[in-house]
Amino acid sequence: MISPATNPNFSELWSSIDKDLLLQCLMNLEDEALKSCCSTSKTSIPNDKTNENLKELAVQWQNISKRVDSTEDSEQAATSWLIDLFNTLFAEQQVILARGDGEPEYFPAQDQQPARIEFAHGFFASALHEMSHWCVAGKERRGLSDFGYWYAPDGRTAAQQQAFERVEIKPQALECLFTLVCGRRFQVSQDNLFADFDTSGSTFARDVYLQVEAYITDPHTLPRDAKTLLCILLQVCNDKSTST
């Protein structure tokens, strides 16, 4: 593995790994999960119908990747595709991913309505980020608005910024993996454009890098749903996925 720097190159890390080996490890973990889950549990192991939908989504992704129209149109198409993928894959868990008009927010399931993950302004990157938070959150926090997170807006104090970065390491590490699988560049977000203190000593980017590296080295440490999502993305975003 490549040693992280102050501003680590996540794409370089991704290009250095054996993606086929990672996929095989994840598929083995999914097989183990299928064998061990009880009949009453809600899982995201794809069934036959889901697999057919995923094959269609793989073809759609390759078509989107080859589009030469405007960046805005391409972004909208990619985001719609991501929504379809997530909602197909996790339908059994009674959760939906949806565009939001404002800032991102998570609404837990209630009154027979599924949980709702709203991401900001229809942005692909925001969708991946909010999906990552959902993957990290366990059953208890998925029952809370915004996963029970404390949040202070940009303009935080140094102490608040440190607290923010601590809870963002794992979600942004997952977001990094999902982003790179989709063939996009990843950059950490400290969400502190208006900070009035020295941020040069922050190790956040390095911490995220090390967490990404740890997930790649030991895929079994990934959250359950992150394993499923990463496994599927590795398959459907691969050029070879449409040739069989």
pLDDT tens-digit series, residues 108-144: 999 999 999 999 988 999 999 999 999 999 999 999 9
Only one residue has tokens 């800032």, namely: 103
* Whether pTM exceeds 0.75: yes
Query: Is the confidence at residue 189, as pLDDT, over 80?
Result: yes
Q: What is the pLDDT of residue 40?
A: 42
As a whole number of angstroms, the distance between CA 79 and CA 183 comes to 14
How many separate domains does the chain show? 1
Query: Does residue 56 lie within any of the structural domains?
Result: yes
User: In sequence order, what DSSP letters do the residues of 174-189 get, joined into one string?
Assistant: HHHHHHHHTT------
Query: Does residue 40 lie within any of the structural domains?
Result: no
Query: Does residue 95 lie within any of the structural domains?
Result: yes
HSE toward the beta carbon, residue 46, CA cutoff 13 A: 21
Greatest Cα-to-Cα distance within the chain, rounded to the nearest angstrom: 55
SS3 label, residue 126: helix
Query: Is the confidence at residue 77, as pLDDT, over 70?
Result: yes
Query: Does residue 138 lie within any of the structural domains?
Result: yes
Mean pLDDT of 9-13: 93
Indicate the range of 10-14, 71-75, 152-156, 195-199 predicted with least confidence.
195-199
Mean pLDDT taken over the chain:
87
Q: Which domain holds residue 205?
A: 10-33+45-149+157-240
End-to-end CA distance of the chain: 32
